[in-house]
Structure 1
Amino acid sequence: MTAVLLTTGLVVLGLALILLGQHQPDRLLRLAFTLLRWQARLRRGVLVAAGHRWVHAWCPARDPAAPMLVMLHGFTGSKENWYPLARALGRRFHLCIPDLPGWGESERKPDAAYGYVEQAERVAAYLRAVSPDRPVVLLGHSMGGGIAALVAARFPAQVAQVALISAAGVRFDDNAFGLAVLAGHNPFAVCDAASLRRYLATVFYDPAAKPWIPWPVATALIARRRADAAFEQVVLDRIGRGPDSLRPGEEAARITQPALLVWGRQDAVIDPSALSLYAARIPHARTLLLEGCGHMVPMERPQALAEAVLDWIGQNRDGGLHAAQA
């Protein structure tokens, strides 16, 4: 009887998901993201900072004295990109993982700009809200890495350490992605199943790490990306070829905090030559180049990245890394 009930329940759930995917795809996508957050043992939170409503995932550390890590996602990304790293880190740190304003569940305003400079100001306000009494360890990936570089350079009192992971904001060696951006295109654009596959093939190198996106979740994701196409193009024009597109790299020379630079050697988005460009501007930074890894380092190599972050934070804290006792 139990087996029959379980089978019946799965059939009903499957039919419900099909109907939800057909008629309310965004709700289905939010449900999928909620399940991922639960798996990472993170909580959902909402706050207002810099005139925007932010939605973030967060988790307290076991040790109240542990540092707070704030993680900034990249272009077309969301807080969910960091969940594999959050799982690898466990509860060694206080974690705050926001959807940047304009992206994911956070607020987007039609008259606002969402380039590096504007987002850096907003992130500084967010940091004051989530950690008013002490500076944070700031991690940024891709576009989020460019934002993190600006925040560390402009607001040093709020950032104790900064990690730039496959960070945008420097003029790296030409590749297909960069040339397309300079030509005014969005090589990340997703409008159908074929372009979704192309997008995933661009950002991931390791086939084993590439996420499996079942139907109808893929349909829901495609629908969201279609709806965001105009916004994506405006942001990419701003950060990819606008007057502030190289500002993160230019201002990185002002970063004095302990820094970590991490890239995947097979990154087809932000060419690994960017690592040496940032290293030249932040000569005290620790560097790590991961073999067999593409652009999505936090998802492709979460364990290796977690180990690098743990060691780096431990080396830069007086008395060792108290938070490392999981």
Structure 2
Amino acid sequence: MDLDVINIFMIAGSTLAIPILAFIASFLLWPSALIRFYYWYWRRALGMQVRYAHHEDYQFCYLYRGRPGSKPSLLFLHGFTAHKDTWLSVVKFVESIKLNRKPFHLVGTSMGGSVAGVYAAQHPSDICGLSLICPAGLKAPNNNEFVKQMQDIKNSENVHRTPLIPSTPQEMEDMLRLCSYVRFKVPQQILQGLVDDRIPHNDFYRKLLLELLHDKSCYALQEKMDKIAVPTQIIWGKQDQVLDVSGADILANAIPGCQVVILDNCGHTVAVERPRKTAKLILDFLVPTHSTENNKKLL
């Protein structure tokens, strides 16, 4: 074989070997870096931009896509990264990115669902629709094992062994099993990467959890739900082991015209376990709601 051809193959092989070796090294030695790269890749692939908003002493980091238009914007709130001033923080965030200049559709899951419901109750003119996914903040009639464990933590104020704040790969796997009905097979190194990414924030999460378990925050949505007047959608996983599905009936009885969807074979992490179904449910609810609002304006 010609020497130049051999050199070309060697160069090509070396070029391919570098990213492969880098991937293997990251997987084995720095799994958290691989996790961060994964999130970065999907943000890029979906056209999401990382932005920061500031209001007084608050800094908000959020993902953004699209441009303001005639259709309502959607604001998604995730769970368990809130704090005691969450209600105030959401108001400041909405104002800082000028989202309150026209009504928007608010979506919240878990703790974010409690935040979203309270915001909708207190600022109805800002909201054109509300989607609550397995929301916290309710006093469900059925106390599952997780709720009993949270009550024990509240009474003892010992948050060092809570299933929502993992510190080892095994604890991370246990948390995934608790939150998800669908059993994902996650490699050990990925579990380690997920833990490594969370550990720097665990002390904050522990302090936050104790504040959220106090009566003032624990049932915040229950105290405000009868004031929610906007079109509301409830989505809940039937096999939710974190927040019992009976909470859906509580909201349905308190919010007039509330639409309730119970997903079978689905746990607490609805958007992760059933992402396409969740998106379709929200869009199917959003479109007629927005059309109705436009018709009212024309009349």
Q: TM-score range by the shorter chain?
A: 0.7 to 0.9
1:280 aligns with 2:285: no
In 2, Cα distance between equivalents of 1:44 and 1:189: 25
Q: Deviations over 1:237-274 (max 9, x none)?
A: 22234332112111011000111110000111111011
Residue 139 of structure 2 aligns with an amino acid whose one-letter code is R
Asked whether the 8 Å contact 1:43–1:57 carries over to 2, the reply is yes
Q: CA deviation at 1:31?
A: 2.6
Q: 1:1-326 maps to which residues of 2 (within 5 A)?
A: 1=9, 4-14=13-23, 17=26, 21=30, 25=32, 27-49=33-55, 51-60=57-66, 64-75=69-80, 114-115=83-84, 118-130=85-97, 131-172=99-140, 173-184=142-153, 185=159, 186-207=162-183, 210=184, 212=186, 215=189, 217-318=190-291
Q: TM-score, normalised by structure 1?
A: 0.77
In 1, Cα distance between equivalents of 2:150 and 2:109: 18
In 2, Cα distance between equivalents of 1:125 and 1:294: 32
In 1, Cα distance between equivalents of 2:29 and 2:48: 25
When residues 183 and 58 of structure 1 are mapped into structure 2, their CA distance, relative to the original with a 3 A threshold, is: same
In 2, Cα distance between equivalents of 1:15 and 1:306: 34
My pick for the range that moved more, 11-20 or 300-309, is 11-20
In 2, Cα distance between equivalents of 1:213 and 1:198: 14
**Larger CA Rg, structure 1 vs 2:** 2
- Where do 5+ consecutive residues of structure 2 fail to align? 1-8, 154-158, 295-299
Q: CA deviation at 1:220?
A: 3.3
In 1, Cα distance between equivalents of 2:169 and 2:76: 29
In 1, Cα distance between equivalents of 2:289 and 2:220: 27
Secondary structure of the corresponding residue to residue 52 of structure 2: strand
When residues 50 and 121 of structure 1 are mapped into structure 2, their CA distance, relative to the original with a 3 A threshold, is: farther
Asked whether the 8 Å contact 1:135–1:157 carries over to 2, the reply is yes
Alignment root-mean-square deviation, CA: 2.4
Residue 59 of structure 1 aligns with an amino acid whose one-letter code is R
**How high is the sequence identity, in percent, across the aligned residues?**
23
- Where do 5+ consecutive residues of structure 1 fail to align? 77-99, 101-113, 322-326
Q: CA deviation at 1:50?
A: 5.5
In 1, Cα distance between equivalents of 2:40 and 2:283: 27
In 2, Cα distance between equivalents of 1:49 and 1:284: 36
In 2, Cα distance between equivalents of 1:50 and 1:248: 27
In 2, Cα distance between equivalents of 1:211 and 1:138: 32
Asked whether the 8 Å contact 2:27–2:34 carries over to 1, the reply is no
Asked whether the 8 Å contact 1:74–1:144 carries over to 2, the reply is yes
Q: Deviations over 1:36-81 (max 9, x none)?
A: 32233312111113532111111105x83221000000115xxxxx
When residues 162 and 56 of structure 1 are mapped into structure 2, their CA distance, relative to the original with a 3 A threshold, is: same
Q: CA deviation at 1:309?
A: 1.1
In 2, Cα distance between equivalents of 1:128 and 1:14: 42
Asked whether the 8 Å contact 1:50–1:126 carries over to 2, the reply is no
In 2, Cα distance between equivalents of 1:53 and 1:45: 10
When residues 214 and 6 of structure 1 are mapped into structure 2, their CA distance, relative to the original with a 3 A threshold, is: farther
In 2, Cα distance between equivalents of 1:128 and 1:12: 46
Q: Deviations over 1:187-210 (max 9, x none)?
A: 212111110110110111112xx3
Q: CA deviation at 1:283?
A: 2.8
In 2, Cα distance between equivalents of 1:3 and 1:51: 52
Secondary structure of the corresponding residue to residue 176 of structure 2: helix
Asked whether the 8 Å contact 2:163–2:174 carries over to 1, the reply is no
Q: CA deviation at 1:319?
A: 6.2
When residues 123 and 320 of structure 1 are mapped into structure 2, their CA distance, relative to the original with a 3 A threshold, is: closer
Count of residue correspondences: 276
When residues 213 and 149 of structure 1 are mapped into structure 2, their CA distance, relative to the original with a 3 A threshold, is: farther
Q: TM-score, normalised by structure 2?
A: 0.84
